[in-house]
Structure 1
Amino acid sequence: MKPKSNEAGAADFALEEFLPYRLSVVTNRASRLFARRYSDRFGLTIPEWRVLAVVGRFGGLSATEVVERTAMDKVKVSRAVRALLDRGLLAREEDAADRRVQRLGMTAAGRRVHAGVVPQARGLEAEWLAPLSTQERATLHALLDRLDARLAEMGAGAAGGPD
């Protein structure tokens, strides 16, 4: 029996073939797998790890800049930052040029956790991507870059979107 629909063509829409949905499913599965690995050892949530990773990479970011770089919702970033501050993994420092801005930096404890998670993340990524050749990996990254650039052109922006 063919499904009924109120809109022409809507019954033919296969969500499982819709690229944004497929990307979301793959991303969510990967994030959960990664999170299980570093949550068990380091007690980090997915948003906390992402914040720690981006601050570890770029340092001295404001929470707003973390939102922009991670494309995570600002409420999730705020909660993650607060948790990392409470655990002593991040510290805030007043911006020298604009005292209203608080810059985030890793503490020594934060650097130790970051240094412990990164090898695990790299190892898991290598395990996950093992079925792909070096060329396929490069192609995947190039295609994702092009799609991301196109989304920016279309006005999607990075800040405050779902993660």
Structure 2
Amino acid sequence: MGRSGEARGRQATERATAQDDGGLDLQRYFPYRLARLAEQVSLAVAEVYAERFALTRQEWRVLAILGARAEIATKEIGPLTTLDKMQVSRAVQGLESRGIASRKHHPDDRRELIVSLTPAGRALYRKIVPFALARETELLAALTAEEVRVLDRVMHKLSAALS
């Protein structure tokens, strides 16, 4: 979208969110609508790991990050999962107490903890992934293939603009 397209997009958003009295129509306000949609999607996916595997949303996010690598420093998990430091700590503790993850001190900095999946955690990850991918497919089935591509481009574009 060129400059004129971006300007039209902003103008349309302004018209959609402004009320006659200069107030804000929350139901049409893009950040609110996006946050609501993200929550709806998150809850729909949570059915996969919460009911079948007794994981919290935070534990699932940490498990998903750990499943993609051999190990990771706990301080790196937050930015990758949108979890704060306390949520990461609780999720890691929960996974560790169930034998899904293990922690050790970083060899060069004893204050830093390194987390990895245990063999049981790797097996759980391999078991959950097909269910999570199937749920993603179900959610995206409401869109055409072109709409999925456009959505992906738009999400990348917005994310880049906010970085």
Give the structure 1 partner of residue 103 of structure 2. Answer: 92
Superposition pairs for residues 117-132 of structure 1, below 5 Å?
117-132=128-143
Q: TM-score, normalised by structure 1?
A: 0.81
- Give the Cα–Cα distance (whole angstroms) in 2 for the partners of residues 23 and 74 of structure 1: 24
CA distance in 1, matches of 2:21, 2:122: 50
Paired residue for 1:41, among 52, 72, 76? Answer: 52
Paired positions, count: 145
SS in 1 for 2:103: strand
Distance 2:20 2:95 in 1: 48
Per-residue CA deviations over 1:8-51 (Å, capped at 9, x if unaligned) read: 97763111111211111111111112112221111001111001
Computing the radius of gyration over CA atoms, which structure comes out larger, 1 or 2?
2
Whichever structure has more helix as a proportion of its residues is: 2
TM-score under structure 2 normalisation? Answer: 0.81
C-alpha deviation, 1:96, in angstroms: 3.1
Q: Which amino acid aligns with 1:54?
A: I
Percent identity of paired positions between Structure 1 and Structure 2: 36
Shift of 1:89: 0.5
Which shifted more, 95-104 or 42-51?
95-104
Q: How many Å separate the matches in 2 of 1:65 and 1:111? A: 20
SS class of match (1:91): strand
Corresponding letter in the other structure for 2:64: A
Alpha-carbon separation, structure 1, partners of 2:22 and 2:85: 35
Q: Which moved more, 1:28-37 or 1:92-101?
A: 92-101
